[in-house]
Every structure is written in C-alpha cells, then in structure tokens.
Amino acid sequence: MPVWNALYQVRNFTANIEDVRAQDASGNSAPVFKSKTSEWQITAPAGCVVVSYDIHLDSSGPFGSMLSADHGFLNWAMVLMYSPALRSQPLSIRLLDAPTVWEMRDLRILGAAAPGKIDQTAGIAHSYDELVDSPVELGTFQQSSFQQDGATYHIVVDGNPADYNMNQLDEILAKITHAAVDWMQDRPYDEYTFLYHFPHGPGGGGMEHAYGTAIEVNVDRMRRDLLPVASVSAHEFFHLWNVKRIRPQSLEPIDYQHEMDTRALWFCEGFTSTVGDMLLARSGLFTDNEYLRRVSEEITDLQRRPAREWQSVEESSLEAWFEGMAFYRSPQRSISYYNKGEIVGILLDLRIRQLTNDTKSLRDLFHWMNDHYAKQHRYFPDSAGVEEAAEAVTGQSFAAFFRDYVAGTKDLPYDTLFQYAGLHVVVNTTQFATAGFSTTANIGAQPEVVQVDPNSEAQKLGILPGDRVITVNGRPADAALDDELSRLQPGTTVRLEVANRRGKREVELRLGSGQLESYELQDLATVTPEQRRHRTAWIHGDDESGSAH
Ligand SMILES: [Zn+2]
C-alpha cells in the first residue's frame, strides 16, 4: 500500500485498512503475513490470489479519498494495494453496488457512467501508475463540456448549482485552455476533464493529473467572482505539461513506499504558477494592473519570510515533505517553493528577454524542454536540466543565475530585471491590524497557531501555540486567516472560535496595530517607449511567433 500520493507528504494510507484476507485459486484461504508497515506477504500455490480488505475513506478534497452516503471521490493510490512485481502490468477495475441514482466520471480509465450503469462499467489501465493518475468522482453532480482546437473538455462539479454559474465557468476555462495550447503550440490529449468540489466549510487546493485535474474551492472564496477558480484551474491545467510530461528525473520511477528527494519542485510548481498567472493575463482574465499587483503580492510574501536568507528554493523543494508540520510552515523556518519559484520564473523570463531583445522568452524554454524531454519520453535532470534549457535558448551562461537564486539564497535582483519592463520595486511601510498571533494551515485544513506575541491581547485571552482557529466571525477559517485579519482596521473586534485539547471556546479579540512592509511594482520615474514595448511583450507576448492571435 502506498504511503504517499498526490501531496508530497507521507500519509501512511495503510492506517485506514482493516481485515486483510486472501484466497487461493481453489477458494481456500491463504495465509497473510504483515511483513512491513505497508506490505503484506501472501503464501499460496502458483496461480490466482484474491485479496480482500475493508477500508475507511473519509478525507475530503482533491488529495483525499472519500466515500459517504452522498458522494464518493477516490484517489486509487489511497484505496488499492499493488503488487510490486505487477506494477507495470495492465489492470482492470470495476465498481460494484453503487447507489442507483449515482453517476460516475473519472479522468481516463473508467470514463463516464450514467445513473444505474456504474456496475456495468469496467476500465483497463496500462499500469498501476496510470490508474492512480485517474481519480473517480461518484454521486450526483453537474456536468458540462466544450470542444476547442480539436479536443473535448469535460467539466464535472460536485456542489450546489446556486453557488456558481456553469456557463461562466465554461467560458473562463475555454479562455484558459485556448491560451495554454496556443502558448505551448501543443495539445498532447484529445480529452481533458476538470473535476470541481465547491464545498461550504474549509477546503481548497488542486491536484494535477495527465488528463485532468481535481480542484476544490471553498464557496466563500468565489462569492465575488470566479477568479480564485480560474487561478487554480490555470495552474493545474499547465501541469499537464510541467510535471506530468515535462517531468524531473528525481520523481521517477515513483517510490510509493518512501518520500522522494527532489530539488525540482521550485520549477514544477513555481514555474507552473508563473505560467498560470501569465495565461490569465493573456486570456484577458487579469488586466495588466491586476497582473502586476499579483506579482507584487508574491514578492511581498517572500520578502516577509526571514527564512529566505537561509533556505534556498531548492532546499525548500527537498523539504516539501515537512509541509504537514505546523512549525515547518512558519516564516522563520521555511519559504515556499511555489512562491519563490514563481518569482524566479518571472525573473528568468525577463532575463531571457533581456539577453535576446525579446526574440526569446520563458515560452521558448518550455518549448525546448517539451521537445527534448517530454516528447522523447525522457526525464529532465532537475535544476541542471532547466539551466541547460535556458542556455540552449539564449546561447549564454546561466551558471551565476542558478547558483545565486536557485541553489543559493542571494537577494533576488528585482530592480535589475524589472527595469527592462520599466518597473521597479517600491517598499511601503503601512499600518496593519495585528492579531497578536500567527497561524499556518496544512492544505485544506484549519489554521493552527504557531506563535503568540508577548503582551498581546491574544496572549491575555489565553490563545496558545497549537490552538486551532475554527471560525472567524462565524465563517470557517482557512489558510488565508492571517492575511484576512491583517486587512481589517486596527481596533476592530473579531469573534474567533478556538479549539485545543481542553475544548472549544469563543473569544472576542480586539486587533492591535503594527507595521508591515509591502512590496509594490511601480513605473520608473521615466518609462521609455522601449521599456513599454518590453512590458507589453512580457505580459501579452504580442511579438511571439507561431501565435494564433
Ligand atoms: Zn501545482
């Protein structure tokens, strides 16, 4: 049984399994010996062995597996054991006894089944790896689809139809998929499926797969508009290239039994965010100013983390496996390879453009990696492979760039590179509301207090490290809690429901005030027409060859 899948976190799925039994080909029970924490040995005569077990599935969200009275979502690596010797053999799968009103849809193996037809559907995967890349949604859900550039896109939503507008969702996704296929000049699939969960209550995140994605967005986050959905959808969609097909050697072959040491997540995740946001700008879902504000927020996030001075973005990739631990996520312990990786992606794009006077860009780097690795069915050698691609595209050395900003912790050269687009970074010190404590949250989970300021209101109210914040003013708290509180007026009173091992209680907390630094990209005192041209090329790619628009 795998110990991890989807999230780069060891989650020991065996803990959910009970009563493992086996029968040999003649129906006699075969001895089962539990040989390791996630391994069983079965002794039986040569031939067929039937293994059965019960499993408890109650973790919701795209990284989980859930089977309840009203819906099911299965990530197969959390559900099905594998035989190491047979892992690359084809396997068939069949679901039985589903409620008759349920429908089913997965990303590739089982396809789709209408109500009452699930029992008759059997899918065949080429390998266990392929199967576990195709989670299945079961229940009653809303569906839509559209055709574009010769491909079919399916949309499946488990949510309340009153919480979102399917036509609007269709429209947004069509813009993203078109912009991405155009940018990559490639479409390595005929069908692609977007699976959404729109829950009330905590939750969030997305998981990429080769032929689709599973995404969860809390309905409170999409009340105003669908931009939060668009943003995670663009990121997950671009993953179909970056990480699913343009794949680092360090993640292959997949070791389901141990954490895998990889220094490449700054590229796999960070650059996926770089391109995801760029696709939103190119498809008109972001204005230029919204795009620049988004980049400014990323810079602010990084600059506010003291750990940027001692943890490189490669080390942050390597330590991804600690992200389930509250203290690890605190600003003094770690940076995020999503966050710094995204900024490094932007700076690398600008550096390539600067060296080639906009004739080459990050897009050419991805085309090169797609041609040299993905299409040749080869894996790239982590950071060295990205460096090689940057050098191949420009004909210039990127040794110093990778040494200082990828392997090293040197301050990022914002002003040197943004000036190419007529911009510089301005630091503003502003008064912010302070809660007197800070929290971190594991993906989709409730925030946990990691630190309390001495002599703060929070300390006087008895808030302690380890407390979980359940609601804020009656609404479920999530990973954005600290940000949300800092945006309120100092002096505001908020109602928090807090839980710890002594129980749950409600506190009324008066927010204090403090100073925080914000980083903002602004125009240089004079922006030359040339710099304006560079900026338009960078954000919109108007000058790129092979573009359909
Ligand atoms: Zn991702």
Q: pLDDT tens digits, residue range 334-375?
A: 999 999 999 999 999 999 999 999 999 999 999 999 999 999
Q: Range with the lowest mean pLDDT among 48-52, 129-133, 417-421, 436-440? A: 436-440
Measured in degrees and rounded to the nearest 5, phi and psi for residue 30 equal -110, 140
Q: What is the pLDDT of residues 291-302, one digit of tens each?
A: 999 999 999 999
Ligand 1 centroid distance, CA of 221 (Å): 19
Ligand 1 centroid distance, CA of 441 (Å): 17
The residue among 331, 304, 316, 306 whose CA lies nearest residue 450 is 331
Q: What is the pLDDT of residue 310?
A: 97
Ligand 1 centroid distance, CA of 272 (Å): 7
Q: Is 51 left (phi over 0), alpha (psi -120 to 50) or beta?
A: beta
How far is it, in rounded angstroms, from Cα 313 to Cα 254?
22
Ligand 1 centroid distance, CA of 338 (Å): 8
How far is it, in rounded angstroms, from Cα 390 to Cα 400?
12
Ligand 1 centroid distance, CA of 269 (Å): 5
Q: Range with the lowest mean pLDDT among 181-195, 405-419, 528-542? A: 528-542
Name residue 517's beta-bridge partners.
429
Is the peptide bond preceding residue 253 cis, with omega within 30 degrees of 0?
yes
Ligand 1 centroid distance, CA of 220 (Å): 22
pLDDT at 542 over 70: no
Ligand 1 centroid distance, CA of 200 (Å): 23
Which amino acid belongs to residue 501?
R
Q: What is the pLDDT of residues 171-206, one digit of tens each?
A: 999 999 999 999 999 999 999 999 999 998 777 899
How far is it, in rounded angstroms, from Cα 295 to Cα 345?
11
Whether the Cβ atoms of residue 518 and residue 299 lie closer than 8 Å to each other = no
pLDDT at 267 over 60: yes
Ligand 1 centroid distance, CA of 206 (Å): 7
Pairing of strands 212-217, 204-209: antiparallel
Ligand 1 centroid distance, CA of 433 (Å): 31
Give every CB contact of residue 128 below 8 A, 6+ residues apart in sequence. Answer: 80, 82, 86, 87, 88, 91
Ligand 1 centroid distance, CA of 452 (Å): 31
Ligand 1 centroid distance, CA of 317 (Å): 12
Q: What is the pLDDT of residue 509?
A: 96
Ligand 1 centroid distance, CA of 225 (Å): 22
Reported pTM: 0.91
Mean pLDDT to the nearest integer, 219-233: 92
Q: Range with the lowest mean pLDDT among 326-340, 491-505, 530-544? A: 530-544
Ligand 1 centroid distance, CA of 239 (Å): 7
Give every CB contact of residue 26 below 8 A, 6+ residues apart in sequence. Answer: none
Ligand 1 centroid distance, CA of 459 (Å): 36
Ligand 1 centroid distance, CA of 114 (Å): 31
Ligand 1 centroid distance, CA of 524 (Å): 33
Mean pLDDT to the nearest integer, 73-101: 96
Q: Is 338 left (phi over 0), alpha (psi -120 to 50) or beta?
A: alpha
Q: Range with the lowest mean pLDDT among 220-234, 369-383, 437-451? A: 437-451
pLDDT at 514 over 90: no
Give every CB contact of residue 390 below 8 A, 6+ residues apart in sequence. Answer: 348, 352, 365, 398, 401
340 or 543, higher pLDDT: 340
Ligand 1 centroid distance, CA of 350 (Å): 22
Q: What is the pLDDT of residue 64?
A: 95
CA angle, 231 as apex, 230 and 236 as ends, to 5°? Answer: 95
How far is it, in rounded angstroms, from Cα 202 to Cα 441?
11
Ligand 1 centroid distance, CA of 519 (Å): 25
Residues in the chain: 549
Q: Range with the lowest mean pLDDT among 90-94, 198-202, 357-361, 523-527? A: 198-202
Q: What is the pLDDT of residue 224?
A: 84
Ligand 1 centroid distance, CA of 374 (Å): 18
Ligand 1 centroid distance, CA of 50 (Å): 37
Ligand 1 centroid distance, CA of 9 (Å): 14
H helix runs in 357-508, sequence order: 362-372, 382-394, 399-401, 414-418, 457-460, 481-486
How many Cα atoms within 13 Å fall on the side-chain side of residue 204? 23
Query: Is residue 221 very low, low, confident or very high in pLDDT (cuts 50, 70, 90)?
Result: confident
Q: What is the pLDDT of residues 413-467, one digit of tens each?
A: 999 999 999 999 999 998 889 999 999 888 778 899 998 988 899 999 999 999 9
Ligand 1 centroid distance, CA of 245 (Å): 14
Ligand 1 centroid distance, CA of 72 (Å): 23
How far is it, in rounded angstroms, from Cα 242 to Cα 394?
21
Q: What is the pLDDT of residue 549?
A: 35
Ligand 1 centroid distance, CA of 323 (Å): 14
Ligand 1 centroid distance, CA of 234 (Å): 10
Ligand 1 centroid distance, CA of 321 (Å): 15
The residue among 495, 496, 497, 490 whose CA lies nearest residue 511 is 490
pLDDT at 137 over 80: yes
pLDDT at 217 over 80: yes
Ligand 1 centroid distance, CA of 238 (Å): 9
Whether the Cβ atoms of residue 494 and residue 469 lie closer than 8 Å to each other = no
Give every CB contact of residue 205 below 8 A, 6+ residues apart in sequence. Answer: 61, 62, 63, 215, 216, 232, 443, 444
Ligand 1 centroid distance, CA of 253 (Å): 19
Q: What is the pLDDT of residue 444?
A: 74
Ligand 1 centroid distance, CA of 7 (Å): 10
Ligand 1 centroid distance, CA of 340 (Å): 14
pLDDT at 546 over 80: no
Report the mean per-residue pLDDT for the chain: 94
Ligand 1 centroid distance, CA of 273 (Å): 7
Give every CB contact of residue 263 below 8 A, 6+ residues apart in sequence. Answer: 250, 314, 315, 317, 318, 382, 383
